[in-house]
Amino acid sequence: MFRDAIAKEIEEVMGNARNAFAIYSKTTLRARAGFMRAIARQVMLLGDELLITAGAETNLPGARLQGERGRTVFQLDAYADACERGDWLEARIDTAAPGKVPPKPDIRKMMVPLGPVVVFGASNFPFAFSTAGGDTATALAAGCPVIVKAHPAHAKTSTLVAEAIKIAVAECGLPDGVFAHVHGASFDVGAALVKHPYTKAVGFTGSYAGGKQLFDWAGQRKSPIPVFAEMSSINPVFLLPEQLKTRAEELAKQLAVSVTLGAGQFCTNPGLIIAVEGEDLTRFVKTMAAEIRLAVPATMLHEGISNHYSESKEQALAQPGVTLVAASDADPGQQQARPVIAAVTAETFLANPVLHREVFGPYSLIIKCRDLEQMTVVAEQMEGQLTATLMATDADMNNNGPLVDAVQHFCGRFILNGVPTGVEVCLSMQHGGPFPSTTDSRFTSVGADAIKRFVRPVAFQNWNNHLLPDALKNENPLGIWRTVNDVLSKEPLTS
Order of all β-strands in the sheet with 323-327: 323-327, 340-345, 363-369, 272-276, 237-239, 385-391, 411-416
Catalytic pick from 68, 230, 291, 358? 230
Residues near 448 by Cβ (< 8 Å), separated by ≥ 6?
A: 78, 79, 82, 87, 88, 138, 427
Query: So what's the pLDDT on residue 422?
Result: 85
Q: Which of 267, 291, 358, 369 is catalytic?
A: 267
CB-based contacts of 22, cutoff 8 Å, min separation 6: none
pLDDT tens, residue order, the chain (495 aa): 789 999 999 999 999 999 999 999 999 999 999 999 999 999 999 999 999 999 999 999 999 999 999 999 999 999 999 999 999 999 999 999 999 999 999 999 999 999 999 999 999 999 999 999 999 999 999 999 999 999 999 999 999 999 999 999 999 999 999 999 999 999 999 999 999 999 999 999 999 999 999 999 999 999 999 999 999 899 999 999 999 999 999 999 999 999 999 999 999 999 999 999 999 999 999 999 999 999 999 999 999 999 999 999 999 999 999 999 999 999 999 999 999 999 999 999 999 999 999 999 999 999 999 999 999 999 999 999 999 999 999 999 999 999 999 999 999 999 999 999 988 999 999 999 999 999 999 999 999 999 999 999 999 999 999 999 999 999 999 999 999 999 999 999 986
Q: What distances in angstroms separate CA 200 from CA 141, 244, 362, one per listed residue?
A: 15, 48, 37
Those residues whose C-beta lies under 8 Å from the C-beta of residue 155, and which sit 6 or more positions away, are 1, 2, 57, 183
Question: Does residue 83 have an active-site annotation?
Answer: no
pLDDT of residue 495: 65
Domains in the chain (CATH in brackets) are 7-231+441-455 (3.40.605.10), 236-416 (3.40.309.10)
Distance CA 475, CA 456 (A): 23
Burial of residue 210 (number of CB atoms within 10 Å: 0-12, 13-18, 19+): middle
**8 A C-beta contact, residue 491 and residue 91:** no
* pLDDT for the residue 27: 98
Residue 436: DSSP 8-state = T
pLDDT of res. 30: 98
DSSP 212-227: HHHHHHHHTSSS---E
Burial-class residue 48 by CB neighbours within 10 Å (0-12, 13-18, 19+). Answer: exposed
Q: Read off the pTM.
A: 0.96
Among 333, 444, 330, 331, residue whose Cα is nearest residue 387: 444
Active site residue 303: no
Q: What are the C-alpha distances in Å from 121 to residues 16, 127, 133, 160?
A: 21, 9, 8, 14
Using only C-alpha atoms, the chain has a radius of gyration, in whole angstroms, of: 25
Three-state secondary structure call for residue 192:
helix
